[in-house]
Amino acid sequence: MMKGKKGFTLTEVLVSVAIAGILVVAVATVFIRYHRLENRYAVKENILTEIENIYEIFTGSPVDFETNLSDYYQREIEFSEVETHLFETHLYYDGDFRKLSDSETGNYLLLAYSQEENLYSLKITPHHRGEIIKFTESEFLREIRVGGNNEE
């Protein structure tokens, strides 16, 4: 049996454990914070991917947007008329904006689609947990005058 001749004293062990504890808590805090931030930015990336896809569909053929959007998502996307020539729909997503949700959630894209004469416009407003997510100072609004080939 050891009788104080080998190993560390109790004070040394307590100090070491205290330092180790502080380090572990600090590192865990950093990792948890990083993980949360990473999730937040993953959501933003997914939102942008959806917006890019929707604008590609719109730009390809503004006239057939509603039909093409339904084809893309393989489900009936219904727009309701909120004002004359202005139609809106909500695309609801799961928590991280990877796929469409079957039920209403706080994560959605509000699509406002309008047509006046030959000018078509589409405004996309992303919402996450019910709050509007802003990426730039201005809104995402694309207006296309039809009559030409707008393929990029």
Binding positions for another protein, rule: CB under 8 A: 5-8, 12, 15-16, 19-20, 23, 26-27, 30, 34, 37-38, 41, 44-45, 48, 51-52, 55, 59, 119, 135-136, 138, 140-152
Minimum CB separation of residue 85 from another protein in Å reads: 17
Q: Identify which of residues 130 and 148 has a Cβ nearer to another protein in the complex.
A: 148
Minimum CB separation of residue 40 from another protein in Å reads: 10
Torsions phi, psi for 118 (to 5 deg): -105, 15
CA distances from 92 to 47, 129, 132, 138 (A): 11, 11, 14, 23
Q: Identify which of residues 4 and 102 has a Cβ nearer to another protein in the complex.
A: 4
CA distances from 50 to 1, 31, 56, 82, 94 (A): 68, 29, 10, 23, 13
Torsions phi, psi for 81 (to 5 deg): -80, 115
Q: How far apart are CA 80 and CA 152, in angstroms?
A: 29
Minimum CB separation of residue 77 from another protein in Å reads: 20
Q: Identify which of residues 49 and 70 has a Cβ nearer to another protein in the complex.
A: 49
Q: How far apart are CA 65 and CA 113, in angstroms?
A: 9
Minimum CB separation of residue 102 from another protein in Å reads: 27
Q: Identify which of residues 18 and 78 has a Cβ nearer to another protein in the complex.
A: 18
Place of tokens 């604008």: 55
